[in-house]
Amino acid sequence: MLLARTAAAAILGTVMFAGATRPHATPALRMAQMIKAVPTDKKLIAFTFDDGPNRRWTPQVLSLLAQHHAHATFFVIGQEVTRCPDVIQSISRAGMEIGNHGMHHRWLRNLTEEAVKADITGGADAIVAAGGPRPYLYRLPAALADDAARRTLGALHYTVVSWSIDTRDWRRGTSSQRIAQTVMREAAPGKIVIMHDGPAHREATLAALREVLPALQARGYRIVTVGDLLRNSQFAAQRAIPPAPTARKPKAKLVRESRPRSVFPRDWLRRIG
C-alpha cells in the first residue's frame, strides 16, 4: 500500500515521506514539443522556407505565393536578418509567418546552455529589431539537438518544427522536376514541406514552386503556414497559438503640401519693425 501511495504521489509531482509530502526541490524542465506533421482531416499543407531572408530569392518566393493566394512560414537566420531587415518587413506585410532559425545557424548539439540560449534569443531579437513579430516557432539547423538544447527551447516556450516532406532542394544539382515530384508524391493533409529561399542559387526551387502550387490547389489543397496547421488541429487545445498574420499594405509616403511663395520680401518683418 505504501509503495502504491508513493507511486501515485510521484505522478502528481510530490514524494511521500512517512505520511507527509513535500514538493520536488528541482522540477524537471519541459522539453520543447517537436512536430513533423499535424493531424488534420482538412486538406491543408504547410510550406516552409529556410535560411533567408535573401534580397534576390525571398521576394521571388513571396511573389509566387501571392499569385496563388498561398501562405508559408519563413524560418530566418538572425545574421541574414540584420543584413536585409527590409525583406523581413516584406515577409510580414505579405501576411506570412516568421519563425526562428537561430542567429548563426549553429547546430544545437554539444553546446553549453549559454551558447544555445544566446543563439536562439539572438535570432529572435534580430527578427524583432527588424520589425517582425517575436517568433514562437523554431527550426533546428540540420535538425540536430540534444536534450539540453530541447530543454532550453522548452524553457523559452518554443515549438520546434521539423518536416515530413524533404525536397532536398539544398543539394547542388537537384532538379526542379525532382523537387516537384517529391512534393506531389508525398503530399497529404497536415504535412510540412521544407524548401529554402537562401542563400545559394534557388532557380530550381522557384521552378518547382511554380509547378506544385497550382497542382496542389487543383487537388483541393490549401497552402498554409505552420501556425494555420496548428490552429486547425487538436494541437491548438494544448497551447495558445498566436493569431494568424494578416497582409498589410505598405504605408503611403506622406506628401507635404507645397506652400505658395510669399509675396512679401524676406526682410519684411525687419522693415515694419
What's the mean pLDDT in 86-99? 97
- Helices (H), strands (E): how many in the chain? 10, 11
| Per-residue confidence (pLDDT) for residue 111, from 0 to 100 | 95
Least confident of 4-8, 73-77, 152-156, 211-215: 4-8
pLDDT at residue 260 greater than cutoff 70? no
| Per-residue confidence (pLDDT) for residue 250, from 0 to 100 | 53
| Per-residue confidence (pLDDT) for residue 14, from 0 to 100 | 27
For residue 7, give the 3-state DSSP assignment: helix
What's the mean pLDDT in 17-37? 59
- Position 268 confidence tier, pLDDT thresholds 50, 70, 90: very low
Closest CA to 181 of 190, 193, 189: 193
| Per-residue confidence (pLDDT) for residue 116, from 0 to 100 | 97
The grid cell for 235 is 494541437
pLDDT in tens, 98-155: 999 999 999 999 999 999 999 999 999 999 999 999 999 999 999 999 999 999 999 9
| Contact status, residue 107 vs residue 76, Cβ threshold 8 Å | no
Q: How far lies 146's CA from each of 51, 77, 217, in Å?
A: 21, 20, 38
The mean of the pLDDT values for the chain is: 83
Q: Which tops the pLDDT comparison, 22 or 169?
A: 169
| Contact status, residue 52 vs residue 80, Cβ threshold 8 Å | yes
- Position 258 confidence tier, pLDDT thresholds 50, 70, 90: very low
Q: Which tops the pLDDT comparison, 8 or 202?
A: 202
- CATH architecture of structural domain 34-237: Alpha-Beta Barrel (3.20)
- CA–CA distance, 203 with 197 (Å, rounded to integer): 10
Catalytic positions are: 50, 196
Largest CA distance in the chain: 106
Tracing cell 541574414 back to the chain, one arrives at 80
| Per-residue confidence (pLDDT) for residue 259, from 0 to 100 | 37
- Position 3 confidence tier, pLDDT thresholds 50, 70, 90: very low
pLDDT in tens, 204-252: 999 999 999 999 999 999 999 999 999 988 777 666 677 787 776 555 4
pLDDT at residue 156 greater than cutoff 90? yes
What's the mean pLDDT in 80-106? 97
Backbone angles phi, psi at 48, to 5 degrees: -130, 150
